[in-house]
Amino acid sequence: MGDIRDRPAHATPDSLQRVNSNAASAAFERLSVFYPMWNEEEYIERAIAYGRRACERLLASGDIGDYELIIIDDASTDDTPAIADRLAAEDSHVRVVHHQRNRKLGGSMRSGFAAATGDLVLYTDADLPFDMNELPRIVRLLREYDADIVSAYRFDRTGEGAVRAIYTTVYNALIKSVFGVRVRDINFACKLVRRRVLDHIDLRSEGSFIDAELIIRARRSGFEVVQMGVDYFPRTRGVSTLSSPAVILTILREMWTLRRDLEGVTPVEPR
């Protein structure tokens, strides 16, 4: 895993008492939100600010007792690392993991899940593909349905362009055919996961297949996955590489590897 840089908490005894009181009475002790980032200097500050506001609302409502925002800097070559360190210095809720080499989406997500300390973990992209105001609804859905994962899907994918929309449709159909998992928009970057899932499964993908691997391993292990639709907001700055030929070849290779690995999956004990 990368270098985790924790910043000293700028907390007073009163604020610590408030956090401890919230944690004792909240439905969940802590929510960890992490963002895989590679060259996201145009998005990083907005992503953290929006995430902070959403988490503060959950804190005020008593749904969570504390939160952390984790930036996974995947060896960025722009100003992302410097901005991330500054944000962490300004806010004790923000932490940074710096990769010494580029590990792609799979490696970044594995670092994020490993760095997260919450009993709830949310993963999303820095370009905020969904409205973070949906976060209380996502948390409430997981709690009320006693689910282990909430996997969001896009109501309307036309904003991503025709090629990406076709790629997503074919990919979801392939996952259903090969693994028997029926999840809409399985690669969409909005998944809320309970800690018990992460403690049981071992994610191995280094590429974009990791989204599907998470759901497939969780389902095969007996965890409950619920889905919810959200409005989609496509990237307006920077460039996405998730549908490049190299990415697609990596996905196919990791799909084949997972098919063999699933023979050793151990279901969880019924709750």
pLDDT in tens, 40-93: 999 999 999 999 999 999 999 999 999 999 999 999 999 999 999 999 999 999
User: Is 100 within the bounds of a domain?
Assistant: yes
Count of domains observed in the chain: 1
In angstroms, how far apart are the furthest CA atoms of the chain? Answer: 55
User: Is 186 within the bounds of a domain?
Assistant: yes
User: Is 27 within the bounds of a domain?
Assistant: yes
User: Is 8 within the bounds of a domain?
Assistant: yes
Q: Distance between CA atoms of 209 and 258, rounded to whole angstroms?
A: 10
Domain that residue 48 falls in: 3-264
| Residue 32 neighbours by CB distance under 10 Å | 24
CA atoms within 13 Å, Cβ hemisphere of 42:
6
Check residue 266 and give its pLDDT: 67
User: Is 246 within the bounds of a domain?
Assistant: yes
Low-confidence ranges of the chain (pLDDT < 70): 1-25, 157-162, 235-245, 263-266, 270-271
Check residue 216 and give its pLDDT: 94
- Where is 98: in which H helix or E strand? strand 94-98
Alpha helices in 116-161 (DSSP H): 135-144
Torsion of CA 50, 26, 123, 211, to 10 degrees: -150
Q: Distance between CA atoms of 183 and 150, rounded to whole angstroms?
A: 11
Q: Distance between CA atoms of 148 and 196, rounded to whole angstroms?
A: 8
pLDDT in tens, 27-43: 899 999 999 999 999 99
- Check which CATH number belongs to the domain holding 247 and give it: 3.90.550.10
pTM: 0.83
Written as six digits, the tokens of 111 are 């670092």
User: Is 271 within the bounds of a domain?
Assistant: no
Check residue 52 and give its pLDDT: 98
The DSSP bridge pattern shows strands 149-154 and 3-5 to be: unpaired
Q: Distance between CA atoms of 43 and 53, rounded to whole angstroms?
A: 16
User: Is 225 within the bounds of a domain?
Assistant: yes
Q: Distance between CA atoms of 91 and 56, rounded to whole angstroms?
A: 13
204 Cβ contact partners less than 8 Å away, ≥ 6 residues apart: 213, 254, 257, 258, 261
Are the C-beta atoms of 150 and 142 separated by less than 8 Å?
yes
Check residue 159 and give its pLDDT: 64
Q: Distance between CA atoms of 111 and 107, rounded to whole angstroms?
A: 6
User: Is 152 within the bounds of a domain?
Assistant: yes
Query: How deeply is 150 buried, as exposed, middle or buried, from its count of CB atoms within 10 A (0-12, 13-18, 19+)?
Result: buried
